[in-house]
Amino acid sequence: MIVAGAGMAGLVAAVRARELGLAPVVYEKGTRPGGSMVLSSGVVWRHREWEVFRRECPAGDERLQRLVWERLDDALEWLRSQGADVSAEDTENPLTTGKRFDPRQLTDALVQRTTALRIGEAAPLDGRGPTVLATGGFGGSPALVARHIRPAAPLRLRANPWSTGDGLEHAVGRGAALSDAMDEFYGRNMPDTPWTEAAFVAAAQLYARHARIFDEDGVEFFRADDVSWSETNVAQATATRPGARAYYVLTADALAEPAVAQRAGPLIPPAALPFAPPLDAAAAVRVVASITHTIGGLRIDERARVIGVNGAAVDGLHAAGVDAGGVAAGGYASGLAQALVLGLAAAEALAA
């Protein structure tokens, strides 16, 4: 059994497969395990109410959404049983429920239970054995992002650099079908300045509801009333504007809001804006759209089997994490929850 990728989905699939008597070998072409999980906030969550999940992600694959929603609580307890330490028992969001983990400790706990892990080595995707694709989607491939997501300019990467569509391209070459939402992504608007992996979480500009949002040409293209709670829709909209950039224009009152005061990137005086600002503008922040992971990907069933364009399962091929597509179509849901549940499902299907 080959597992391609050592992020959350790949490590979970390998650990569960080993529990069930299989002998998985995990290949990670990057320089470390953990994928983008190790760069995340570590919160693994689901919507508290099923109806809210459907409302927030209305175009998503309902079968897969139900799988994640129903299995996540038990899956979190399974993670605990593997030595993962919970650092917070809830998400501090009334719409969601889940657990927070320290990403590095979680990665280490899973790695310790992975007996065959090959770092710096791409998986031998030759179709000659059962395979779980867990390569993290295609957000790290400018060419695939341009083809499927079609941003106005290249998106900054807010994730590991190794998720370049290896799983997608291998599966498509074997006749796999693509999911809906190939043009959607989960990302953040970030300061339009240099930033490193250490700032992926802290530097996210999560206060769009307190701002007026303009593009480089001075077009106010997004209303504060339309900002979703996750702000994913703002990042997606920014990606369509010139340069995939925007300005968050802030009043004095907005600058005093805790969310703004804690997160705002470098402030620009109104006179320095490339357009005439609103009369009450006190400052602005220039932001750039970034991609964390793709939402579209391979079509799978509830056993994480990759489905072909002919409607049948592709023999011996499973996908987990965001190599599987369409779960959060039309909105936003936890990528780590998707990785956890689908990783378990893939291993269990292969062991059945």
For 280-322, what is each residue's pLDDT tens digit?
999 999 999 999 999 999 999 999 999 999 999 999 999 999 9
Cβ 259 vs Cβ 207: under 8 Å: yes
Q: Comparing 138 with 126, which gets the higher pLDDT?
A: 138
Q: What is the C-alpha to C-alpha distance for residues 245 and 221, in angstroms, rounded to an integer?
A: 11
pLDDT of residue 92: 87
pTM above 0.85, yes or no: yes
Examine the pLDDT at 179 and tell me if it is beyond 90.
yes
Least Cα distance to 349 among 299, 306, 298 occurs for 306
Q: Comparing 92 with 276, which gets the higher pLDDT?
A: 276
Q: Give the mean model confidence (pLDDT) for residues 2-19.
A: 98
Examine the pLDDT at 279 and tell me if it is beyond 90.
yes
> How many whole angstroms from its chain centre is CA 225?
24
Burial of 54 (0-12, 13-18, 19+ CB in 10 A): middle
**Tokens in use for 13?**
């699939």
Q: Where in the chain is the domain with CATH 3.50.50.60?
A: 2-184+295-351
pLDDT of residue 232: 96
> Could you tell me the pLDDT band of residue 164, with boundaries at 50, 70 and 90?
very high
Which CATH code fits 2-184+295-351?
3.50.50.60
Cβ 99 vs Cβ 77: under 8 Å: no
| Residue 89 CB partners (closer than 8 Å, separation 6+) | 99
For 209-243, what is each residue's pLDDT tens digit?
999 999 999 999 999 999 999 999 999 999 999 99
For 91-129, what is each residue's pLDDT tens digit?
989 999 999 999 999 999 999 999 899 999 999 998 788
DSSP E strand boundaries for the chain: 2-4, 25-28, 43-47, 86-88, 96-101, 117-119, 131-133, 156-157, 185-191, 212-214, 220-222, 245-250, 283-294, 305-307, 313-319
**Tokens in use for 192?**
């339009």
pLDDT of residue 128: 81
| Residue 195 CB partners (closer than 8 Å, separation 6+) | 203
Least Cα distance to 333 among 95, 80, 76 occurs for 95
> How many whole angstroms from its chain centre is CA 145?
14
pLDDT of residue 127: 79
DSSP E strand boundaries for 50-201: 86-88, 96-101, 117-119, 131-133, 156-157, 185-191
> Could you tell me the pLDDT band of residue 204, with boundaries at 50, 70 and 90?
very high
**Tokens in use for 245?**
């950039």
For 59-77, what is each residue's pLDDT tens digit?
999 999 999 999 999 999 9
